[in-house]
Amino acid sequence: MSNKTIFFDIDGTIYDENKKVPPSTSEAIAELKRLGHNVAIATGRAPYMFEGLREELEIDSYVSMNGQLVVYKGETIYRNPISTDSLKSLTVFAEKQDHPVAYMDPYGMKVNVDTHVDIETSIGSLKLALPQHDAEYFLNHDIYQAMIFCPEDKETVYVNEYPDLYFIRWHSVCMDVLPKNGSKANGIAQMMKALGVKKGDIYAFGDGLNDIEMLKFVGHGIAMGNAEHKVKEAASYVTRNVSDNGILEGLRMVGLL
């Protein structure tokens, strides 16, 4: 069997509900690498948010911030920041709705308000430190992903107002903001160009709404058992829950282990 490339989402895929890596997942990923396959991460997180995980699993290739920054074997091969003008307009509009905005680059995240319960609820669910206040951060840094902290019934307001941006909800009170062409699928396509590989040799595991395009795009999309229904519909395969050896069983299901 020729070498394959396998992409793994983090939250709900590599990480279980306690933000831990199940032993069977660590062992399965180590075995993939021993067999000569390429292993990469595909996540909505910024690189600083999963540095420890990369070290733990010894993975140096990743599609981060939902495809906006792509790194292969430690070298950046693709960047796709949001324009400053778009962020200025979005911030003014969100402030009128009383919705906080977060700005994310590879090294950190800042928010345009001192504190807000929706920030605590959503970012807190990732077991990460809450971002600091810096309303002008986006003016002096390349921002690859923003976040709008708003309820689901307000989502269409932004979709209609900003057709040049792409909104992906990942929490009941928060959605990611990307350039229109932004997605994990696009990030994977950029890595495929660098590797010179075909879709038939690409596999991906995911569980969230921001994984749908990725699972549809790759040759072999595997949804976790704990994935939302829409995600399972987009996948070619559905494995077990992340905490029930889901990664290991999924890799066996597609014949990689």
The neighbour count for residue 163, using CB atoms within 10 Å, is: 8
Element (H, E) at 178: strand 174-179
Answer left, alpha or beta for residue 185, where phi above 0 means left and psi between -120 and 50 means alpha.
Answer: alpha
Return the exposure string of 223-252: e unless at least 16 CB atoms fall within 10 Å of the residue's CB, then b: bbbbbbeebbebbbbbbbbbbebbbbbbbe
Which is catalytic among the residues 9, 16, 105, 207?
9
**What residues contact residue 155 under an 8 Å CB cut-off, 6+ apart?**
167, 169, 175
Please give the Cα distance from 257 to 251 (Å, whole number). 6
- Active site annotation includes 60: no
State both tokens at 45: 């997180």
Among 72, 68, 18, 16, which residue's Cα sits nearest to residue 43?
68
Phi, psi of 202 (to 5 degrees): -115, 130
In sequence order, what are the beta bridge partners of 71? Answer: 62, 76
Helix (H, G, I), strand (E, B) or coil at 104: strand
State both tokens at 2: 């020729």
Identity (one letter) of the amino acid at 73?
Answer: K
Instruction: Catalogue the active-site residues.
Output: 9
